Each structure stands twice: as structure tokens, then as C-alpha cells.
Amino acid sequence: MEFANRHRASSILRITRHYPAPNFVRYHDDVQQFRRITMDPDVMGGKPCIRGMRVTVGMIVEALSAGRTIEQLLADFPYLEEADIRDALAFAAKLAQGHEIRLAS
């Protein structure tokens, strides 16, 4: 548990390699940074969220897997942008593949 808290505090997750994507920024040549994904213990229990809002990456991925379209999500959450949804998907993909991810500070 102590490792998990320290790990969450640094907002870094492990990776083996990286792939370029539009919403990524290279960080020290082997870690990519997500500018739109944040983790704050005071927001949604520290789950990865879109730009500090109470919309989690999990909510976006779950809605898309249930058949919602990006256009429908943008109508449901008018304060989101298409790039937010795409970044959430890229974040989830990197996390599922075991890649290291650096979040915006």
C-alpha cells in the first residue's frame, strides 16, 4: 500500500517502450506525458480524470465499450473536447499494455 501511495503521488506508471501519438509529449526519451489526464486524491478518489474534472478515464472507456459514440459523449459532457476522449483512450491503452505514463503536473 505504501508503494502504491508513493507511486500515485509521483503520477508515474511503468512502461517498456513508447509510441508517438498526437496528445503525447516525449519526456526523457522513453516516457510519454499525457497533458489532459490528471490524478488527484481529492478528485474521484485519485482515479485518472480528464483535466481534473469529475470525469474518469474509466467512465469514458466504459461508455465507448457500451456502444456510445464520441459525438454522444461530447453531447453528454459538453465541457469535454474530442481530444479529451482520445487521450483517455490512449491512456487506457498504454496502461493496459503496461507502459510507463507521466501525467501533466
Q: Which residue has the cell 472507456?
A: 61
Q: What is the mean pLDDT of residues 28-41?
A: 76
Burial grade of 96 (CB within 10 A; 0-12, 13-18, 19 or more):
exposed
Q: Which residue has the higher pLDDT, 42 or 22?
A: 42
What percent of the chain has pLDDT above 90?
55
pLDDT at 77 over 80: yes
Q: Write phi, then psi, for 52 (nearest 5 degrees).
A: 75, 5
- pLDDT value for 72: 97
- pLDDT value for 32: 61
Domains of the chain with CATH codes: 2-103 (1.10.10.10)
- pLDDT value for 50: 95
CA distances to 12, 26, 33, 77 from 29, rounded to whole Å, are: 15, 6, 11, 34
